[in-house]
């Protein structure tokens, strides 16, 4: 009897192990399920590299909670992959936040304050709903307030804002966070099944594009 019980326990443990392995394994991709294939491919910003785009908004809690998952993944991307973060702008405060992000990128200080801006809005309840409010906040992070506002209102930044809006329309996004691989495939946390699964989808689509070269 003892041997029968032990055998049953071992069999159950083995089955559990196989189930766990199956759960960890990436689910085979299916267009229309985990991701959508765009009708018309959007040109990438660096030809020759596999482009991965994340569209986000500082006011989006899902984007904020995605940060601890996606940031370590970005740091480990291979040299043939180019990651681009684009702010989604659907009007109102979305546009203020988006133009502010592009301003910080243009000033080459986004990496210093990106996390702080997210936390100010999502954790501390700050609105940062005007360029002046945003400038006041980034000044507390060591960014020159007047330089920020001058850059925010510059012709170059306004051109980048127009381009970001054009790309969002071409990608046909309806919400954030959304991801695009190589201008061809769109997916998000909802379609993928969660933050970790979203990056599994990205990894598989990157491999698909690499193999197609």
Find the mean pLDDT for residues 165-192. 97
Cβ contacts of 131 within 8 Å, gap of 6 or more: 96, 99, 100, 149, 152, 153
Kindly tell me if the per-residue pLDDT of 197 is higher than 90: yes
Instruction: Tally the C-alpha atoms within 13 A of residue 82's C-alpha that lie toward its C-beta.
Output: 12
C-alpha to C-alpha distance for 172 and 180, rounded to whole angstroms = 10
Cβ contacts of 149 within 8 Å, gap of 6 or more: 131, 132, 135
Mean pLDDT in the chain? 91
pLDDT band at 12 (very low <50, low <70, confident <90, very high): very low
Counting residues of the chain whose pLDDT is more than 70, the rounded percentage is 88
| Spatial CA neighbour of 138 closest among 105, 181, 166, 104 | 104
pTM above 0.95, yes or no: no
Kindly tell me if the per-residue pLDDT of 23 is higher than 50: no
Superfamily of domain 31-211, CATH level 4: Glutaredoxin (3.40.30.10)
Q: Are strands 81-87 and 36-37 parallel, antiparallel or unpaired?
A: unpaired
Q: What is the pLDDT of residue 2?
A: 41
Structure tokens at 136: 């006041």
Asked if residues 161 and 167 have their Cβ atoms less than 8 Å apart, the reply is no
Segment 90-140, tens digit of pLDDT:
999 999 999 999 999 999 999 999 999 999 999 999 999 999 999 999 999
Counting residues of the chain whose pLDDT is more than 90, the rounded percentage is 86
pLDDT band at 4 (very low <50, low <70, confident <90, very high): very low
3-class state of residue 81 by DSSP: strand
Q: What is the pLDDT of residue 42?
A: 98
Kindly tell me if the per-residue pLDDT of 7 is higher than 90: no
> Mutual orientation of helices 93-106 and 110-122 as an angle, nearest 10°?
160
| Spatial CA neighbour of 152 closest among 96, 210, 200, 86 | 96
């Amino acid at each position: 009897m003892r041997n029968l019980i032990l055998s049953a326990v071992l069999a159950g443990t083995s089955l559990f192990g196989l189930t766990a392995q199956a759960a960890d394994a990436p689910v085979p991709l299916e267009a229309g399920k985990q991701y959508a294939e765009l009708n018309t491919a959007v040109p990438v910003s660096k030809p020759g590299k596999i482009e991965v785009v994340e569209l986000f908004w500082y006011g989006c809690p899902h984007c904020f909670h995605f940060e601890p998952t996606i940031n370590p993944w970005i740091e480990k991307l291979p040299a043939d992959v180019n990651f681009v973060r684009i702010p989604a702008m659907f009007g109102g405060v979305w546009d203020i936040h988006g133009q502010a992000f592009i301003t910080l990128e243009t000033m080459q200080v986004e990496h210093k304050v990106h996390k702080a801006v997210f936390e100010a809005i999502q954790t501390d309840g700050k609105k940062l709903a005007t360029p002046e409010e945003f400038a006041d906040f980034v000044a507390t992070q060591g960014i020159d307030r007047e330089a920020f506002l001058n850059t925010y209102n510059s012709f170059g930044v306004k051109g980048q804002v127009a381009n970001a809006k054009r790309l969002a329309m071409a990608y046909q996004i309806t919400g954030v966070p959304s991801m695009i691989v190589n201008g061809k495939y769109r997916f998000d946390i909802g379609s993928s099944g969660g933050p970790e699964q979203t990056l599994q989808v990205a990894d598989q689509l990157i491999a698909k594009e690499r193999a197609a070269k």
